[in-house]
Amino acid sequence: MNKQFNIKNLNDLEKITNNILSNFSSRKIAIDGTLGVGKTTLVKSFCKNLGVTDHVSSPTFPIINEYSTKSKEKIYHFDLYRLNSFQEAIEIGTDLYLDTDFYCFIEWPELILPLLNKDVLFLSLKIEKQNRVLTII
């Protein structure tokens, strides 16, 4: 199933992420895209729609950020860009986070594909002309 969304501005993004959250039950969302394409901005929009009260930022250096919603539900945000191996991902407990019922947003998911099951929603974010295109794979 490939469904595409054209994103022209942040208002579009908020509507699209709300649409995805409303129409897909997966709480594990893997996001593919080149450096600087807007993966963290996409996660910020998902978190806003989920009612996150914390500041959402790129976890490039900490690798995993944890956020809380108004209802005290946890959300995990991974940026696996700096990891070099599957073993490193296991050592930081990625598999344990994915085994929870909480939302997990995973930037640069390639290293942990063996951990991602059929319930994971895969998204691809690209720049086309002046807009972003989000594809549900």
pLDDT for 32 equals 97
How many independent structural domains does the chain possess? 1
Mean model confidence pLDDT for the chain: 95
Confidence of residue 1 (pLDDT cuts 50, 70, 90): low
Range of the domain at 12: 3-136
Q: How confident is the model at residue 68 (pLDDT cuts 50, 70, 90)?
A: very high
Angle at 43 between CA 39 and CA 49, to 5 degrees: 150
- Average confidence (pLDDT) over 29-52: 97
Count of other CB atoms within 10 angstroms of residue 75? 22
Please give, one letter per residue, the 3-state secondary structure of 101-135.
CCEEEEECHHHHHHHCCCCCEEEEEEEECCEEEEE
pLDDT of amino acid 130: 87
pLDDT digits (tens, 9 = 90+) for 41-58: 999 999 999 999 999 999
CB atoms within 10 A of CB 26: 16
Q: Is the pTM of this model over 0.85?
A: yes
Render pLDDT for 76-98 as a digit per residue (tens, 0 to 9). Answer: 999 999 999 999 999 999 999 99
Please give the average per-residue pLDDT across 9-22, as a whole number. 96
Q: What is the CATH number of the domain that holds 27?
A: 3.40.50.300
Strand order in the sheet with 103-107: 3-7, 131-136, 121-128, 28-32, 103-107, 74-79, 64-68
pLDDT over 90 (residue 33): yes
